[in-house]
Amino acid sequence: MVKPIAWRFAGSWSCIRCGKCCMLQVPVKIGEALFYQRKFGSNVLEYFNKGFHIRKNENKYCVFLELVKGKAFCNIYSFRPRACILYPFYIYKKPFYGEEDRAKFTLFDEEYYVYIDAECTGVNRGFLPISKNIVDAILVWLGKEDYKQISQLNVLHSSNV
Ligand code: SF4
């Protein structure tokens, strides 16, 4: 179960590969669904709530997850679904879950409302300012992953510190 909180309530974030989020439902867009179907067959997908999702195994984990000595390894990491790339961040153009002031994030003079899943074990486990992760997440959300290298420049954007 996802518990979104405004990003300013979280000091930092880093994935510690606990695998907890690999038990969440992972929605995939139609283009992604076609890609996974072509590459792995239709067994890796299921359809419910009017959309495709990555199938779970009998342990309720994503079928692509491998747990090795308690560490999560994604077997499709380099082409994992967009929802997984963005997790644990949720980005909107409106304050979807409230807390407008605490959720607001400004990038390239545009305002976004960013939430993080408080259930993620990696919350407050990072060393970098969380704004760095958020810039990366917004660029992914905008489909501008290629610009990630310039995200460092925006970490110190005054309104996000
Ligand atoms: S729940 Fe958070 S820390 Fe754990 S694997 Fe997922 S993103 Fe990483």
* pLDDT 10s digits, 86-133: 999 999 999 999 999 999 999 999 999 999 999 999 999 999 999 999
Q: What is the pLDDT of residue 144?
A: 84
Q: Does 133 lie in the same domain as 109?
A: yes
Average pLDDT for the chain: 91
Query: Please, what is the Cα angle at 94 between 90 and 82, to 5 degrees?
Result: 30
Report the domain count for the chain: 2
- Whole-prediction pTM: 0.89
Count of alpha carbons within 13 Å of 146, Cβ hemisphere only? 0
Does the CB atom of residue 19 touch ligand 1 within 6 A?
A: yes
Q: Does 102 lie in the same domain as 141?
A: yes
Exposed e or buried b per residue across 123-159, where buried means at least 16 C-beta atoms within 10 angstroms of its C-beta: beebeebbbbbbbbbbbbbeeeeebeeebeebbeeee
What CA–CA distance (Å, rounded) separates 158 from 75? 38
Name the band, by pLDDT with cuts 50, 70 and 90, for residue 73.
Answer: very high
Q: Does 153 lie in the same domain as 91?
A: yes
Q: Does 105 lie in the same domain as 52?
A: no
Q: Does 31 lie in the same domain as 56?
A: yes
Query: Could you tell me if 123 and 10 are in contact, meaning their C-beta atoms sit under 8 angstroms apart?
Result: yes
Q: What is the pLDDT of residue 146?
A: 64
Q: What is the pLDDT of residue 124?
A: 96
Does the CB atom of residue 14 touch ligand 1 within 6 A?
A: no
Query: Could you tell me if 160 and 131 are in contact, meaning their C-beta atoms sit under 8 angstroms apart?
Result: yes
Q: Is residue 79 part of a domain?
A: no
Q: Is pLDDT above 70 for 68?
A: yes
> Domain span at residue 94?
4-18+87-160
Q: How far is ligand 1, taken at its centre, from the CA of residue 90, in Å? A: 14
Of 1, 2, 5, 15, the one to substitute when testing ligand 1's pocket (max ligand atoms within 8 A of C-beta) is 15
